[in-house]
Amino acid sequence: MQASHDTHDHAHGDHGDHAHHGRAPGLMGWFTTTNHKDIGTMYLWFSFVMFLVGGAMSLVIRGELFAPGLQYVSPEFYNQMLTLHALIMVFGAIMPAFVGFANWMIPMMVGAPDMAFARMNNWSFWLLPPAAILLTGSLFVPGGAAGTGWTLYPPLSVQMGLGMDMAIFAVHILGMSSIMGSINIITTILNMRAPGMTLMRMPMFCWTWLVTAFLLIASMPILAGAVTMLLTDRHFGTSFFNAAGGGDPVLFQHIFWFFGHPEVYIIALPAFGVVSHVIPAFSRKHLFGYTSMVYAIAAIGLISFFVWAHHMYVTGIPLTGQLYFMYATLLIAVPTGVKVFNWITTMWRGELTFETPMLFALGFLFLFTVGGLTGLVLAITAVDIQLQDTYYVVAHFHYVMVAGALFSAYAGAYFWLPKWTGRMYDEALGKVHFWTSIVFFNVAFFPQHFLGLAGMPRRIPDYATQFTDFNAVSSIGAFGFGFSQLIFLWVVLKNIKGGEAAPVKPWDGATGLEWTLPSPVPYHTFEDPPVITEEHLAAAH
């Protein structure tokens, strides 16, 4: 994923004059770099490390749940694991992964030399490690980490110890990082496109990130507000969420989910973007319905702000509220459906091949659709009352999140890896990674639908004996899935060390400016804006 540092002197032609502006040598170079490719690389490595940390926590959870009874961990530690697993996966793994893709690809896709605010870009990344240290370090303070679930609901979160404050500060820092990253992305996309790269010619990944960045700017301050109110309730005697002082615990949930639902699409939209590049490339066709895809993304982004209380059907919101949120939630299924139909029509009558990126994109489509359809079931308030806070919901959001985000991130990583490192990855290993992942994923999460239907609540460290069998199956799947991810690490390390040199355009069906650059891409690219020709254009036309 790196290797660009030793290649800048190979950057010939138009860019050769600038090649000496490389990264400073050694570790200091990584601290001070303002190069979008370096920063993208750091984001991607950071997110993968956090993914392994969060994954290890999920294996603690699944290990404990393999059989009824308490075997390995105490209930309070179990709660800390499920909280940190979610916070780390959402804020430490998935979001930074797609910011990494954005850093690497957006300037190259729109024909810009770098991100608009290169120093701020450095700062956005280097805020992440302190946040990660706060989150994981909270396990080692007296009382341990927050044990509230990632939703941090008061009054439970008011009862927590120092670990909770550390989580709150981590969320603040991560929010700052996201907002700065978003400002950078919006400015780059709006102001730094090469001449001729009009908005409606822009690659789909840039479109999804443009909408996502606005969602982040609108929603992260709301989360920061919510956790700040929590902090003052905890330490400074305010009563925002304390009924005894005139507050309302449910207020926190409204604020949290007003952030939390857009957050779902913050994770999903860039994933949609990646898939919208991979599917056309391996279908040797243009993306079907580019315009409607753009409108669908915008519609999803907008509606995502108006559906938050479908996470709160059982909190006692009024009937009219339940009805409104049910209708609004059903509405969001329409643009999401449009996207799925467009992807499928893109493949229709194509010339399909199934290299690893395409396999992951298909895996994404398959699993995301399952998660989307169970989401439709959950949207129906009366049915949700049977399923809320059960394993059905756990299954649902893992299908949407792991499939929607992780599989798409893998599709993107395999797709662009040859461009980044200048070498082809091991295709056979990539395929093994895909097949083990998708099989074990389904073994881990499909049975959880049945557990939820039968009434097993989520976030419990021990369960009644009738849930034993499916839990055992699910745990086996989870361990298989977890260890399968190490194959990816192997593929990437192998790729960095060596391998067959990648051509400028390793995928014959791929389109877009990034495929006009040498492999590996030079340290500096597009210092002079490229001339946009039809041939260059991304999947747009």
Is 58 near another protein (CB under 8 A)? no
Residue closer to another protein, measured from CB, 52 or 429 = 429
Residue closer to another protein, measured from CB, 8 or 234 = 234
Please tell me the distance from the alpha carbon of residue 478 to that of residue 446, in angstroms, as a whole number.
11
Residue closer to another protein, measured from CB, 45 or 446 = 446
Handedness of CA 333, 334, 339, 342 (dihedral sign): positive
Please tell me the distance from the alpha carbon of residue 115 to that of residue 174, in angstroms, as a whole number.
20
Please tell me the distance from the alpha carbon of residue 94 to that of residue 174, in angstroms, as a whole number.
13
Concerning whether 150 is annotated as a catalytic residue, the answer is yes
Cα 298 to Cα 77, 211, 231, 273, 291, distances in angstroms: 41, 6, 34, 13, 11
Binding residues for another protein restricted to 299-318, rule: CB under 8 A: 314-316
Residues linked to residue 153 through DSSP beta bridges, in sequence order: none
- Residue pair 357/491 in contact (Cβ under 8 Å)? The answer is no
Residue closer to another protein, measured from CB, 63 or 457 = 457
Burial class of 351 by CB neighbour count within 10 A (0 to 12, 13 to 18, 19+): exposed
Binding residues for another protein restricted to 25-54, rule: CB under 8 A: none
Find the shortest distance in angstroms from Cβ 129 to another protein.
Answer: 28
Binding residues for another protein restricted to 244-273, rule: CB under 8 A: 244, 248-250
Pick the stretch among 7-15, 33-41, 131-139, 280-288 that binds another protein (CB under 8 A). 280-288
Kindly name the residue from 265, 313, 391, 420 that is annotated as catalytic: 265
H-only helix segments in 65-143? 75-87, 95-110, 118-126, 128-137
Contacts with another protein, 419-438, as mask; x by CB under 8 A: -----x--x---x---x--x
Site for another protein (CB under 8 A): which residue of 10, 20, 24, 71?
A: 71
Burial class of 139 by CB neighbour count within 10 A (0 to 12, 13 to 18, 19+): middle
Is 56 near another protein (CB under 8 A)? no
Please tell me the distance from the alpha carbon of residue 309 to that of residue 474, in angstroms, as a whole number.
29
Binding residues for another protein restricted to 464-493, rule: CB under 8 A: 464-466, 468-470, 473
Residues touching another protein, count (CB under 8 A): 113
Q: Provide the 3-class DSSP secondary structure of residue 390.
A: strand
Is 504 near another protein (CB under 8 A)? no
Is 440 near another protein (CB under 8 A)? no
Concerning whether 178 is annotated as a catalytic residue, the answer is yes
Site for another protein (CB under 8 A): which residue of 117, 169, 366, 397?
A: 366
Find the shortest distance in angstroms from Cβ 419 to another protein.
Answer: 13
Amino acid at 495: N
Q: CB-side exposure of 52: number of CA atoms within 13 Å?
A: 12
Is 533 near another protein (CB under 8 A)? no
Find the shortest distance in angstroms from Cβ 3 to another protein.
Answer: 19
439-449: b or e for each residue (b if 16 or more CB lie within 10 Å)?
Answer: ebbbbbbbbbb
Please tell me the distance from the alpha carbon of residue 448 to that of residue 423, in angstroms, as a whole number.
40
Residue closer to another protein, measured from CB, 31 or 327 = 327
Concerning whether 261 is annotated as a catalytic residue, the answer is yes
Concerning whether 310 is annotated as a catalytic residue, the answer is yes
Find the shortest distance in angstroms from Cβ 349 to another protein.
Answer: 4
Catalytic residue positions? Answer: 85, 114, 150, 177-178, 261, 263, 265, 276, 310-311, 336, 339, 458
